[in-house]
């Protein structure tokens, strides 16, 4: 007998794609919302990034941020597989842990598209990227972020989610502020290099608004996970 699987929870579509009106509204909502209060660890990453790449947004700075953005999701994916192994005898709980892994994988993919889009914009504008600033420094910051993420996740998973929520909040504001400060981007057509995978927007401004809204979705997911950081503690009796 052939069983057809129509619903594939292991391949989620990612954050919702917005139309033009929704993108404009999303930008305004971000600009009207104060930034989160960033903790010490987040500031330890934002400060050197601002010093090395400038306080103002730019495609090279965004490419750098996107290089490190997927790191906590990688860390959580790895910790998730370890947890699934531990809870293998409790199928309902193992399934819920696996759902978190699926979410982490989907978010890594989404961040990867952001990185490819930013690199494409960097190349199109002929911006120079140096080995030190755009290879070595992102690697060093990613190394720090990855190890902080999994260690925090081990001792206080809510802190690990909070750190990522701060990172995503920072990214969301960076994109939406950049678009607000560069109104000419509304007249630059979206090159659509990754249109098949990411969608095609009317302008580069809308493309960046969509990326900014994705970051908000990531932030809200992390804030939601903060409320239930340890699945095994929240497990219901029937999970056993």
| 203 three-state secondary structure | strand
Q: Which is nearer to Fe ion, 187 or 224 (CB)?
A: 224
Q: Which is nearer to Fe ion, 137 or 211 (CB)?
A: 211
Q: How far is the CB of 174 from Fe ion (least distance, A)?
A: 10
Q: How far is the CB of 23 from Fe ion (least distance, A)?
A: 16
Q: How far is the CB of 218 from Fe ion (least distance, A)?
A: 4
Q: Which is nearer to Fe ion, 96 or 114 (CB)?
A: 114
| Cα dihedral: 96, 98, 101, 105 (round 10) | -120
- State the Cα–Cα distance between residues 80 and 102, nearest whole angstrom: 9
Q: Which is nearer to Fe ion, 87 or 216 (CB)?
A: 216
Q: How far is the CB of 185 from Fe ion (least distance, A)?
A: 18
Burial 31-63 (b: 16+ CB within 10 A, else e): eeeeebebeebbeebbeebeeebeeebbbbbbb
| Cα dihedral: 167, 70, 16, 189 (round 10) | 90
Q: Which is nearer to Fe ion, 137 or 172 (CB)?
A: 172
Note whether 175 and 208 are within 8 A (CB).
yes
Q: Which is nearer to Fe ion, 26 or 93 (CB)?
A: 26
Structure tokens at 139: 């690697």
Q: How far is the CB of 111 from Fe ion (least distance, A)?
A: 5
- State the Cα–Cα distance between residues 161 and 223, nearest whole angstrom: 7
Q: How far is the CB of 122 from Fe ion (least distance, A)?
A: 15
Q: How far is the CB of 4 from Fe ion (least distance, A)?
A: 33
Q: Which is nearer to Fe ion, 168 or 203 (CB)?
A: 168
- Under the rule (CB under 5 A), what is the footprint of Fe ion? 66, 69, 111, 114, 168, 215, 218
Note whether 75 and 164 are within 8 A (CB).
no
Distance, CA of 184 to chain centre: 26
- State the Cα–Cα distance between residues 240 and 235, nearest whole angstrom: 8
In a 13 Å sphere around the CA of 134, the CA atoms on its Cβ side amount to: 14
């Amino acid at each position: 007998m052939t069983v057809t699987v129509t619903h594939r929870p292991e391949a989620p579509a990612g954050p919702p794609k917005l139309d033009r009106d929704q993108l404009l509204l999303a930008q305004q909502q971000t600009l009207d919302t104060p930034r989160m209060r960033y903790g010490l660890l987040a500031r330890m990453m934002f400060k050197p990034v601002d010093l090395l790449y400038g306080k103002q947004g730019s495609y090279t700075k965004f490419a750098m941020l996107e290089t490190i953005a997927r790191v906590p999701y990688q860390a959580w994916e790895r910790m998730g597989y370890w947890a699934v192994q531990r809870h293998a005898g409790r199928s309902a709980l193992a399934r819920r842990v696996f759902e978190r892994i699926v979410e982490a994988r989907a978010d890594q993919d989404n961040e990867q598209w952001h990185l490819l889009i930013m690199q494409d914009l960097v190349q199109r504008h002929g911006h120079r990227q140096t080995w030190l600033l755009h290879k070595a420094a992102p690697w060093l910051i990613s190394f720090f972020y990855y190890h902080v993420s999994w260690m925090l996740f081990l001792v206080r998973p809510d802190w690990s989610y909070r750190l990522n929520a701060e990172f995503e909040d920072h990214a969301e504001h960076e994109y939406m502020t950049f678009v607000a400060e560069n109104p000419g981007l509304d007249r630059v057509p979206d090159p659509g290099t990754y249109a098949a995978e990411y969608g095609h927007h009317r302008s580069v401004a809308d493309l960046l608004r969509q990326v900014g809204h994705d970051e908000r979705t990531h932030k809200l997911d992390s804030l939601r996970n903060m409320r239930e950081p340890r699945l095994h503690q929240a497990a219901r009796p029937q999970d056993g």
